[in-house]
A and B are shown apart, each in its own frame.
Chain A
């Protein structure tokens, strides 16, 4: 469930306004900070690839790659992997549409792969993405970068780079907006609209 927006159907009308967690400039700063951390932690890696999880993870991966290049690192190759076909909850929901899967030329063999997603919650999406990734090659190692970690893990998965830790209750929704898709950069929380 990369972004809670996907489950965001009847969210309106709870009467409570969305509470802003990150403004546009916060989002830019956060991405810059993660980019710096990636440069630091991957300094000795020859081949770094950022793989985004659609749809907002892919946008974040592209931005991170550009930021890494801007701050003096070697611009990493960018790809995208759709975890849908590897999910463990397909039978619990109506058929999900598939998203893009594109690997950079040169693949991911022996690369240091950084998986990128917008929101980390149960860890099930990341688990599925790891399975999908392993079908396309054998990375030297895999790291995980997320814009928001909201807790509620159901699997032993943790992020190497976290934009913001947000303690949430399951009844809340995290809404991530990115300019390329939503017209603005913003992260907010909506109370009482989740599970």
Chain B
């Protein structure tokens, strides 16, 4: 693996290997006072975030540090980006400084792909083999989120294959939904998108999943339900009449959570808007694996760094 740009590059075997590595890393650190592995000593990992983020950036930084990589954080605010430097030049600069891995979040879909293309091309000029990890590009993909969701489902349900997983809400703007649909399908799960027609992308009919507009009809048949945040910052038109109406039609209330089967798991990629897509009591219930998702996030990202950086370059 040279880059991690989209989950569609992962076949079932590779995705499973990443999840296994993540489990093993968690095991290796279990019960230890010093959570530090020497594996990536001397490697430099740069996070480059052009969008706000708490959990993803921190999680990557911790993942790098726990494996002894040197991690550096660059945010668009406060960097030369605000002086007008292009993504191209920023990427060249970071590679020339010897970045072994650049983790990028960018508002433009496809930004990570562009960076990866440049990194491959510039390898001769900069003398560095830089791996790119997509930490969210526009409304396109967020592969490590999908991997940590799969890891959490595997923990809670024992397996992903054969399970029915509902993804509810703002699918249109959600890179999390996109990555999850493809990764979960690759791992053999049955995915159901549940959203109002206005919040479904045009291409969704071609995705490896089913589409439904009726959450109440789907709930009893789901092994897990993933609630998406309504992305107010990406909403420019009228996608639904009011947030109150959205909460009533698609929000996961206590009554709705009770309609899930006994073992039904509730996921949320965060950040949550309590009372909108998920009721506070549901978010804090035993069904919710939301904090487990965050914990798994660190191990999954360690696994990604391990697979990209630990072995001999391909």
Determine if A93 and B312 form an interchain contact, defined as CB atoms under 8 angstroms apart. Answer: yes
A135 and B28 CA atoms in complex are apart in Å by: 10
Task: Write out the residue numbers on chain B whose beta carbons fall within 8 Å of the beta carbon of A43.
Answer: none
Task: Write out the residue numbers on chain B whose beta carbons fall within 8 Å of the beta carbon of A92.
Answer: 312
Selected from A93, A102, A135, the residue in CB contact (under 8 A) with B27 is A102
Determine if B311 and A131 form an interchain contact, defined as CB atoms under 8 angstroms apart. Answer: no
B124 lies within 8 A of chain A by Cβ: no
Within the complex, the shortest CB–CB distance from B35 to chain A, in Å, comes to 9
Task: Write out the residue numbers on chain B whose beta carbons fall within 8 Å of the beta carbon of A93.
Answer: 311-312
Determine if B38 and A85 form an interchain contact, defined as CB atoms under 8 angstroms apart. Answer: yes
B73 lies within 8 A of chain A by Cβ: no
Task: Write out the residue numbers on chain A whose beta carbons fall within 8 Å of the beta carbon of B39.
Answer: 85-86, 90
Determine if B32 and A95 form an interchain contact, defined as CB atoms under 8 angstroms apart. Answer: no
Residue of A nearest to B24 (CB): A98
A101 lies within 8 A of chain B by Cβ: yes
B296-314 toward A: CB 8 Å interface, digit per residue (1/0)? 0000000000110011101
Determine if B28 and A85 form an interchain contact, defined as CB atoms under 8 angstroms apart. Answer: yes
A26 lies within 8 A of chain B by Cβ: no
A133-145 toward B: CB 8 Å interface, digit per residue (1/0)? 0011000000000
Determine if B21 and A94 form an interchain contact, defined as CB atoms under 8 angstroms apart. Answer: no
Task: Write out the residue numbers on chain B whose beta carbons fall within 8 Å of the beta carbon of A82.
Answer: 24, 28
Selected from B24, B38, B310, the residue in CB contact (under 8 A) with A95 is B310
B31 lies within 8 A of chain A by Cβ: yes
B100-141 toward A: CB 8 Å interface, digit per residue (1/0)? 000000000000000000000000000000000000000000
Determine if A101 and B310 form an interchain contact, defined as CB atoms under 8 angstroms apart. Answer: no
B258 lies within 8 A of chain A by Cβ: no
Determine if A99 and B24 form an interchain contact, defined as CB atoms under 8 angstroms apart. Answer: yes
Selected from A85, A91, A107, the residue in CB contact (under 8 A) with B311 is A91
Residue of B nearest to A136 (CB): B32
Within the complex, the shortest CB–CB distance from A82 to chain B, in Å, comes to 7
Selected from A85, A94, A103, A135, the residue in CB contact (under 8 A) with B312 is A94
A6 lies within 8 A of chain B by Cβ: no
Task: Write out the residue numbers on chain B whose beta carbons fall within 8 Å of the beta carbon of A110.
Answer: none
Number of B positions contacting A (CB below 8 A): 22
Residue of A nearest to B23 (CB): A98
Number of A positions contacting B (CB below 8 A): 22
Determine if A91 and B312 form an interchain contact, defined as CB atoms under 8 angstroms apart. Answer: yes
Within the complex, the shortest CB–CB distance from A25 to chain B, in Å, comes to 35
A70 lies within 8 A of chain B by Cβ: no
Determine if A97 and B17 form an interchain contact, defined as CB atoms under 8 angstroms apart. Answer: yes
A139 and B302 CA atoms in complex are apart in Å by: 28
Determine if A135 and B34 form an interchain contact, defined as CB atoms under 8 angstroms apart. Answer: yes
Determine if A90 and B311 form an interchain contact, defined as CB atoms under 8 angstroms apart. Answer: yes
Selected from A85, A97, A102, the residue in CB contact (under 8 A) with B37 is A85
A147 and B95 CA atoms in complex are apart in Å by: 48
B204 lies within 8 A of chain A by Cβ: no
Q: A98-B28, A101-B27 are in contact. Are A131 and B17 (CB under 8 A)?
A: no
Residue of B nearest to A95 (CB): B311
Within the complex, the shortest CB–CB distance from A72 to chain B, in Å, comes to 32
Within the complex, the shortest CB–CB distance from A95 to chain B, in Å, comes to 3
Q: A85-B37, A85-B39 are in contact. Are A90 and B310 (CB under 8 A)?
A: yes
A131 and B30 CA atoms in complex are apart in Å by: 16
Task: Write out the residue numbers on chain B whose beta carbons fall within 8 Å of the beta carbon of A98.
Answer: 20-21, 24-25, 28, 306
Residue of A nearest to B28 (CB): A101
Task: Write out the residue numbers on chain A whose beta carbons fall within 8 Å of the beta carbon of B27.
Answer: 100-102
Task: Write out the residue numbers on chain A whose beta carbons fall within 8 Å of the beta carbon of B311.
Answer: 90-91, 93-96
Determine if A91 and B24 form an interchain contact, defined as CB atoms under 8 angstroms apart. Answer: no
Determine if A95 and B307 form an interchain contact, defined as CB atoms under 8 angstroms apart. Answer: yes
Within the complex, the shortest CB–CB distance from B185 to chain A, in Å, comes to 24
Selected from B17, B20, B32, B306, the residue in CB contact (under 8 A) with A135 is B32
A-B contact sample (11 more), CB < 8 A, given A82-B24, A98-B28 = A85-B28, A86-B38, A86-B39, A91-B311, A93-B311, A100-B24, A101-B28, A131-B38, A135-B34, A135-B36, A136-B32
What 5 A-B pairs have minimum CB-CB distances, sorted nearest first? A95-B311, A98-B24, A85-B39, A101-B28, A85-B37
Show the binding face of A for B, using Cβ within 8 Å.
Answer: 82, 85-86, 90-103, 107, 131-132, 135-136
Show the binding face of B for A, using Cβ within 8 Å.
Answer: 1, 17, 20-21, 24-25, 27-28, 30-32, 34, 36-39, 306-307, 310-312, 314
22 example contacts (A-B, Cβ-Cβ < 8 A) are as follows A82-B28, A85-B25, A85-B38, A85-B39, A86-B37, A86-B39, A90-B39, A91-B311, A92-B312, A94-B312, A94-B314, A95-B306, A95-B310, A95-B311, A98-B20, A98-B24, A98-B25, A98-B28, A99-B24, A101-B30, A131-B38, A135-B32
